[in-house]
Amino acid sequence: MGVTLRELVKTANQWLMPKPIQDYCPNGLQVEGRERVRKLVTGVTASQALLDAAIAAGADAILVHHGYFWKNEPAQVVGLKKKRLQTLLKHDVSLLAYHLPLDLHDELGNNVRLGQHLEFNIKEPPAGTETGLLRVGELSQPMTPQELAAHIGRCLGRMPQHIEGGPDRIQTIAWCTGAAQGYIDQALELGVDAYLSGEISEPTVHTAREGGIHYFAAGHHATERYGVQALGQRLAETFGLEHQFIDIDNPV
C-alpha cells in the first residue's frame, strides 16, 4: 500500500499545474521527507499546530494550501521558520503546498468547492469578461440578505460579516476565497446582487455601499478548507492512501 513521494508529487503537479502558474511561493514539494507515503494529512496552513497534529496522527506527508517560502519574506531560517522546518526534518515528513493552482482548479479548486459546499449553482461568466479567480453563480432560490448570511453560517460553521448594499432579495452572486476582497470591483462589473470572499478591508465597506452590492466576508480560513480536502481525497483514492483532514481553528 502507498506510493512513492516522487509519484505523489508528480501526479499532484500534473493535475494542478499542467501549465506553469506565476505565484508568490513555490508550489509542489516544499520539504522532502521519507521516500514512501502511506498516510497523507491535509490542512489549510502549515502552522506548527498542524505539523504537531499531523505527526501525532502518523502522517508521512502533509498537504496544505498555505505553505512556506513566500516571496519577499526573510530568507533566514530562524525563529518560527526554524522550528517548523526542524519538526518536519526531524520526523522525516514531507510538506506539499499548492497556493494559486489550488484556487484556480476547475474541479478540485477552493473556489469551485466552496461554491458547491454553499450550494450555489455555478455559472460561466458572461462572454467578454475577465474574472480570473472569480466564480459566478446563482442561488437555487432568492434569499433575503439575512437568510443568505444564516445559510453561509450553517455551511461554514461561522457567521459571515455582512455589509448591506444591494437589493432586498439576492439571486446572483460572485465569490472568491481568501484575501480576495479586492475583486469586489469585478463583481460590480458583472452586475451580481452579492459578493463573497474570505477577508474584508476598510475600503470594501464603502465600495459595497456605494456600488449597490451585498458583501459577505466569510473568513479566509473558513472559505479555503475545501480544495485541499478534495485534492487529498483524490490522491488517497488514486494511490490507496489513508487520508485525514485536520482543521486547526482560525477565526480569521
DSSP string, 139-202: EEEEE-HHHHHHHHHHHHTSPPEEE--S-SSEEEEEEE-SS-GGGHHHHHHHT-SEEEES---H
Given this model, what pLDDT does residue 34 score? Answer: 98
User: What pLDDT score was predicted for residue 128?
Assistant: 64
Residue 131 clears pLDDT 90, i.e. is over it? no
CA distance 65 to 46: 8
Mean pLDDT, rounded, for 223-241? 98
Tell me the mean pLDDT in the region 6-26. Answer: 96
Q: Which pLDDT band, with edges at 50, 70 and 90, does 110 fall under?
A: very high
This prediction has a pTM of: 0.96
- pLDDT above 90 for 130: no
Give yes or no: residues 30 and 68 share one domain: yes
Average the pLDDT over 165-172 and give the result. Answer: 97
229 within a domain of the structure (yes/no) = no
CB count within 10 Å of CB 247 equals 15
* pLDDT greater than 90 at residue 139: yes
Q: Look at residue 47 in the predicted model and tell me its pLDDT.
A: 98
For residue 125, the model assigns a pLDDT of 79
Query: Is residue 199 domain-shared with residue 117, that is, in the same domain?
Result: yes
Distance CA 165, CA 131 (A): 21
**Which range of residues forms the domain containing residue 13?**
3-98
Per the rule left: phi > 0, alpha: psi between -120 and 50, beta: everything else, 57 is alpha
Q: Give the mean model confidence (pLDDT) for residues 219-242.
A: 98
Q: Report if residue 230 sits inside a domain.
A: no
Separation CA 176–CA 179 (nearest Å): 8
Q: How many domains does the chain have?
A: 2
CATH code of 133's domain: 3.40.1390.30
